[in-house]
Chain A
Amino acid sequence: MATNVLICDDSSFARKQMKRALPEGWDVEVHFAGDGVEGVEAIRAGKGEVVFLDLTMPNLDGYGVLEAIRREDLPAMVIVVSGDIQPDAQERVRKLGAMAFIKKPIDQEKARAVLTEYGILTGA
Chain B
Amino acid sequence: MGTKQKYSTVGKRVPKLDAIDKATGRAQYIQDVKLPGMLYGKILYSKYPHARIVNIDTSKAEKLSGVRVVLTGEDIPNIRMGVYKDNPPLKAGKVRSYRDEVAAVAATEPEIAKKAIDLIEVTYEALPSVFDPITAMQPDAPLVHENHKTNILKMPWKLHYGDVETARKEAAHVVEKQFTTTWVTHCCLGTSGAIADFDNNNNLTIHTNTQIPSLAQKDFQETLKALGIPDKRVRVIKPVIGGGFGSKLDTYAYEHVAILLAWHARRAVKVLFDREEEFVATSTRQPTIIDIAMGCDTEGRLMFRDINMVLDNGAYTSWGVTTPSVMMMPITSLYRVPNVRYQAKCVYTNNTYAQAMRGYGNPQATFAIESAMDILAEAAGIDRLEIRRINSNQPGDETPQGFKITTCGLPECINAVEKVLDIEKPKTKGEGIGIASLIHVGGGARIYKSDGCGAIIKLDDFGKADVFTGASDMGQGADTVIAQIVAEQLGLEVEDIHVIHQDTDICPWDVGAHASRTTFVAGNAALGAAKKIRSRILELGAELMGITQTKLDLRNRHVVAQDEPEKTMPIGKLLRKAHFSHGGTMMMADFFYDPANENMGRDFRGNLSMTYAFGTHGVRLKVDEETGKVEILDYVAAHDVGRAINPMLLDGQVHGGVMMGVGYALTEQVILEKGRNMNPDFRDYKILTAKDAIPLTPVVIETIDPDGPYGAKGIGEPGCVPTAPAIANAIYDAIGVRILDLPITPERVLAEIKKKKGVDSCGIDPLTEKEQPC
A and B co-occur in one complex: no
Residues of A within 8 A of B (CB): none
Residues of B within 8 A of A (CB): none
